[in-house]
Amino acid sequence: MADGASRKDRRGFLSDALRTSSVIALAGAGGFLAGRRTEGEPLVWQLDPDKCIGCGNCATYCVLDVSAVKCVNCFDMCGFCDICTGYFEMSYLALDTAAENQLCPTGAIVRKFIEEKSGQRFYEYTIDLPLCIGCGKCVKGCALMNGSLYLQVEHDRCLNCNECAIATACPTQAFHRIPASQAEILKRRAEAVLGARGRRLLREAGDDEAKRRKGDELLSRALRNRRWRQQQQPTASAEGTSPDA
């Protein structure tokens, strides 16, 4: 989740950060050979949000009554839009948050006012995970703007089935088996903005240990994701037939 200190300058930072994907220069990447993973580490199912088209199968094919796939919001990509295309029905422009004007069929997206600046209002959008059924409607809506909403398998709920029923049904082969310690697959743009913020926090940290830890955490997530994507490249042509490990 976003930390309060960075929230205020996020909208200004966002445009810069999106242009600086190259900042993930991977100073330490040489030490992580593509394709290498810890021997014997358990694998879990996860979906690649860059491949997901929000087809709806994540909501209907999971063996659980309520899907283990949930929406997440990458706040570093979010524009905190007043008229959020992931929250409102597109036909609706009067900002009445009545249930019938919301895109989410279960009311799982929570909208909270953050601030008014230069005559514009900004809102934070969070997901009430138990309510989310993984339908992907908000993901498709948000894709019209910044694309900060995307789907991920929630491992606290997922049964880690031997053959994930959604993976089999997914039209874009978005599902993968990834090391349990990795847990997530970040969008490429999320990888870029988290990496950029992590580096910035580390530059600014000085004696601030909390800031340094946050910077480390963000940069680690970005680098881990980058390594995983590098691992996929040699086998990309074979991904259409079976989830990779």
Provide the binding-site residues for ligand SF4, judged by CB under 6 A: 45, 47, 52-55, 57-58, 62-64, 68-69, 71, 103-104, 106, 108-109, 127, 132-138, 151, 153, 158-161, 164-166, 169-172, 174
Asked whether the beta carbons of 18 and 193 are under 8 A apart, the reply is yes
- Minimum distance, C-beta of residue 56 to ligand SF4, in the bound complex (Å): 6
Q: Which is nearer to ligand SF4, 14 or 133 (by Cβ)?
A: 133
Beta carbons of 141 and 87 less than 8 angstroms apart: yes
What is the residue whose two structure tokens read 């290498």? 36
The residue (of 17 and 48) whose beta carbon lies closer to ligand SF4 is 48
- Find the shortest distance in angstroms from Cβ 187 to ligand SF4: 13
134 conformational bin, left if phi > 0, alpha if psi -120 to 50, beta if neither: left
Beta strands in 25-153 (DSSP E): 43-47, 69-73, 109-117, 120-127, 149-153
Long-range pairs of 109-118 with CB within 8 A, sequence gap ≥ 24: 109/71, 109/138, 111/84, 111/87, 114/7, 114/80, 115/8
CB of 117 to ligand SF4, least distance (A): 26
For ligand SF4, the closer CB: 153 or 186: 153
Burial class (CB in 10 A: 0-12, 13-18, 19+), 128: middle
Nearer to ligand SF4, 28 or 107 (CB): 107
Q: Which runs of consecutive H residues, i.e. helices, occur in the chain?
A: 4-7, 10-19, 57-60, 137-142, 165-169, 188-204, 209-232
Residue 132 CB, shortest distance to ligand SF4, in Å, is 3
Partners of 117 in beta bridges: 120
Tell me the closest approach of the beta carbon of residue 57 to ligand SF4, in angstroms.
Answer: 4
Q: Which is nearer to ligand SF4, 17 or 164 (CB)?
A: 164
Residue 58 or residue 194: which is nearer to ligand SF4 going by CB?
58
Comparison of 77 and 104: residue with beta carbon closer to ligand SF4: 104
CB of 131 to ligand SF4, least distance (A): 7
Q: How far apart are the first and last CA of the chain?
A: 28
Q: Which helix (H) or strand (E) holds 177?
A: strand 175-179
Q: Least distance from C-beta 66 to ligand SF4, angstroms?
A: 10
